[in-house]
Structure 1
């Protein structure tokens, strides 16, 4: 029966092969995205851009928080209590959303 199944599903072999390749690429991309060494390099790059004047302090803080969030909550889903809306941050004491400065 295995030979018959193999012969009947032979036309789907390229699809199965492509699916396997896509899964492997996805796994490797996630490993690189959440690798602490890569995150550290990104943070160092942000610090260098701030020192060179390419980034404002506000943009630096926002980009730094986004990079650190990848380490804290892999998968990109907002953590509990986050609004998921850009430009909003939780207030430290009140727990209410507040707008970033300059908006």
Structure 2
């Protein structure tokens, strides 16, 4: 990429930076969704909420199903 190419692409550098930042954030979120320790903490929180009476059995089953669906789904690209 010569000097002329650099001159024409330089104004778009902030846009490329924002796109790269968005991609990094997306990768981190996907990692957090599938991290076994994070999933276990969410499942334990749901179980504790059920034991303390904050949510019903149906809400517990729905929340667990949603977590498992997020965890087992294909990675988004």
TM-score (ref. length: structure 2) = 0.87
Runs of 4+ aligned structure 1 residues displaced above 4 Å come to none
Are the equivalent residues in 2 in contact too, given 1:34–1:74 (CA < 8 A)? no
CA distance in 1, matches of 2:28, 2:11: 28
Report the count of equivalent residues.
76
Unaligned runs of at least 5 residues, structure 2: none
What residue in structure 1 maps to residue 25 of structure 2? 25
Unaligned runs of at least 5 residues, structure 1: 77-103
Task: Tell me if 1:64 matches 2:46.
Answer: no
| CA-CA distance at 1:10 after TM superposition | 0.9
- When you count helix as a share of all residues, which structure comes out higher? 2
Q: How does 1:47-62 map to 2 (within 5 A)?
A: 47-62=47-62
CA distance in 1, matches of 2:46, 2:58: 12
Are the equivalent residues in 2 in contact too, given 1:50–1:56 (CA < 8 A)? yes
Ranked by relative contact order (alpha carbons within 8 Å, sequence separation 6 or more), the top structure is 2
Q: Cα RMSD between the aligned structures?
A: 1.6
Are the equivalent residues in 2 in contact too, given 1:43–1:64 (CA < 8 A)? yes
